[in-house]
Amino acid sequence: MSAPIDFYFDFASPYAYVGSRLLEDIATRHQRSVIWHPLVVGQGFRAVGGAALPALPMRSEYVERDVSRLARSLGIPYQHPKHLHVPTHHAAHAFLYGQDRDPEAAKKFARQVFDAHFVEGRNISDLDVVLDLAEAFGFDRSSAREELNGAALKERLKAETEVALSRGVFGVPFTIVAGEPFWGYSRLPLVERWIAEGPF
Question: pLDDT tens across 108-162, in order?
Answer: 999 999 999 999 999 999 999 999 999 999 999 999 999 998 999 999 999 999 9
- The whole-number pLDDT of residue 97 equals 96
DSSP symbol at 25: H
Question: What distance in Å separates the CA atoms of residue 49 and residue 58, rounded to the nearest whole number?
Answer: 19
Q: Do 38 and 106 contact (CB within 8 A), yes or no? A: no
Residue range(s) defining the domain that contains residue 147? 5-197
Number of domains in the chain: 1
Phi, psi of 9 (to 5 degrees): -150, 160
- The whole-number pLDDT of residue 55 equals 54
Q: Where residue 52 sits, what CATH number does that domain have? A: 3.40.30.10
Section 167-172 average pLDDT = 92
- Residue 172's alpha-carbon distances to 36, 133, 199, in angstroms, are 12, 23, 22
Q: Would the pLDDT of 85 be above 90? A: no
- The whole-number pLDDT of residue 59 equals 76
